[in-house]
Amino acid sequence: MADETTVKKPREGDENGNGCISSVIPGWFSEISPMWPGEAHSLKVEKILFQGKSDYQDVMVFQSATYGKVLVLDGVIQLTERDECFGYGGGDGGVLREVARHSSVEHIDICEIDKMVVDVSKEYFPDVAVGYQDPRVTLHVGDGVAFLKAAPAGSYDAVIVDSSDPIGPAQELFEKPFFESVAKALRPGGVVCTQAESIWLHMHIMKILLRIADRSLKGLGVIGFMLCSTEGPEVDFKNPINPIDVVENQTKSTVPLKFYNQEIHSAAFCLPSFAKKVIEAKSQN
Span between the terminal Cα atoms of the chain, in Å? 21
Q: Quick count: other Cβ atoms within 10 Å of Cβ 109?
A: 15
Is there a contact between 127 and 93 (Cβ–Cβ < 8 Å)? no
Q: Quick count: other Cβ atoms within 10 Å of Cβ 64?
A: 20
Q: Is 165 tagged catalytic?
A: no
User: Which residues is 112 bridged to in the sheet?
Assistant: 141
Would you put residue 224 in left (φ > 0), alpha (ψ -120 to 50) or beta?
A: left
Residue 4, Cβ density class (10 Å: 0-12 exposed, 13-18 middle, ≥19 buried): exposed
Please state, in angstroms and rounded to a whole number, the distance separating the CA atoms of residues 217 and 215.
Answer: 6
Looking at the chain, the number of H-run helices and the number of E-run strands are: 10, 12
Is there a contact between 73 and 87 (Cβ–Cβ < 8 Å)? no
Please state, in angstroms and rounded to a whole number, the distance separating the CA atoms of residues 194 and 224.
Answer: 9
Among 74, 92, 162, 165, the active-site one is 162
Residues labelled as active-site residues = 162
